[in-house]
Amino acid sequence: MNELIQILPKAELHMHIEGSLEPELMFKLAKRNGIKLPDASVDELRAKYNFNNLQEFLDIYYQGCAVLQTEQDFYDLAWAYLENAKQDNVVHTEIFYDPQSHTDRGIPFETTINGLHRAFTDAQQQLGISFHIIACFLRHLPEQDAIDIYPEIYKHKDKIYGIGLDSSELGHPPEKYKRVFAQAKKDGFKVVAHAGEEGPADYVKQAIELLDVDRIDHGNHCLDDDILTAHIAKQGLALTVCPLSNLKLRVVKDLKDHPIKTMLKKGLMATINSDDPAYFGGYINENFMHLNDAVGLTENEIFTLVENSFKASFLPDDIKKIHLQALHSVW
């Protein structure tokens, strides 16, 4: 089965580029930028990657961002992810990044987007991986902060394809962002939101009804509401599911309890993704492999999950068709 997972070309739709910052690269960038990290070594830092919930992870994740200072740092971060993606046979990726976690540290918006965009453009030519960049608002910050940074995002519409919503979910319902999301939709951005990771089914409902999302990130808790689940399935609205993240952030107690099979049985367009691979112990193929080890996926289920990754992508229909044909021929 692992060989099958490896050889299938796939798209990744839920990956935070800051969450692909491996400790080794973090230390290298810290040295390059003269920054002293709180931990003395890679091992000491990795030993902290044991989380009881989303917030404990986010505290460490934002701390790690401090080493990202220059355009080249953002380029190197993206390039390291892309090399892993290439190994996993990812041919298209739609990545998240958190502009506010950099601009709030005094890093100019241009530095972040130019470094990332240059790396992804080079990868398209050199590694054959196409991409879309999705800029996320940090939902733990005031709505006004999102409204204030939106013009910067809009200025870079040639490089940014979509708008997302991430960070601490509980206490920050999608409703808080309905104004800025309405503007982004009007301006032609695709919009997505993390919902139902730690938050309740009602947050998933709000993301659909109030933000008019084109995809739901995570979405696990929609399963608590049968009517909502049936609605999402009927609409063909995709969920970007992240198994190792769900395990490490204790959304599931054990990977054996992961609801992926239930999601597929209920007709949900689920996809498999890595979320923050440097922190959760695996890139996309490892997510497939660990999930398969835990719940025993059938070959058809693996195929459906990979097929869904292209169907749920923001690629134009003609390009989707080419990827789906290539997938079928490998299959």
The Cα 3–Cα 19 span in angstroms is: 26
Q: What are 251's two structure tokens?
A: 């959304």
Q: Does 276 bind ligand ADE (CB under 6 A)?
A: yes
Q: Among ligand ADE, Zn ion, none, what binds residue 19 when CB lies within 5 to 8 Å by partner kind?
A: ligand ADE
257 φ, ψ to 5°?
Answer: -90, 5
Q: Which is nearer to ligand ADE, 11 or 193 (CB)?
A: 193
Q: Which value, in Å, is the radius of gyration of the alpha carbons in the chain?
A: 18
For residue 198, give the amino acid letter.
Answer: E
The Cα 260–Cα 62 span in angstroms is: 29
Binding residue for ligand ADE (CB under 6 A) from 172, 194, 215, 221? 194
Q: Does 275 bind ligand ADE (CB under 6 A)?
A: yes
Catalytic amino acids? 197
Q: How far is the CB of 168 from ligand ADE (least distance, A)?
A: 7
In the block, which residue shows the tokens 């013009």?
151
Q: How far is the CB of 308 from ligand ADE (least distance, A)?
A: 20
Sorted by sequence, the CB contacts under 8 Å of residue 296 that are 6+ apart come out as: none
Which stretches within 192-237 are classed as H helix?
201-209, 226-235
CB contact at 8 A, 155 and 85: no
Q: Which is nearer to ligand ADE, 150 or 280 (CB)?
A: 280
Nearest 5°: the CA angle 48, 74, 177 is 80
The count of residues interacting with ligand ADE (CB under 6 A) is 11
Binding residue for ligand ADE (CB under 6 A) from 10, 17, 19, 73? 19
The Cα 96–Cα 94 span in angstroms is: 7
Q: Which is nearer to Zn ion, 68 or 136 (CB)?
A: 136
Buried b (16+ CB within 10 A) or exposed e, 77-100: bbbbbbebbeebbbbbbbbbbbbb
Q: How far is the CB of 70 from ligand ADE (least distance, A)?
A: 22
Q: Which is nearer to ligand ADE, 165 or 264 (CB)?
A: 165
Q: What is the DSSP letter of 275?
A: B
Residue nearest ligand ADE, CB atom distance: 166
Q: Which is nearer to ligand ADE, 73 or 275 (CB)?
A: 275
The footprint of ligand ADE on residues 216-255 (CB under 6 A) is: 245
Binding residue for ligand ADE (CB under 6 A) from 94, 197, 202, 286? 197
The count of residues interacting with Zn ion (CB under 5 A) is 1
35 φ, ψ to 5°?
Answer: -105, 135
CA distances from 90 to 124, 247, 261, 306, 326 (A): 12, 23, 23, 10, 13
Q: Does 12 bind ligand ADE (CB under 6 A)?
A: no
Binding residue for Zn ion (CB under 5 A) from 18, 275, 286, 307? 275
Q: Does 22 bind ligand ADE (CB under 6 A)?
A: no
Mask: binding to ligand ADE, 153-172, rule CB under 6 A, as x and -?
-------------xx-----
Contact residues for Zn ion (CB under 5 A)? 275
List residues binding ligand ADE (CB under 6 A).
16, 19, 54, 61, 166-167, 194, 197, 245, 275-276
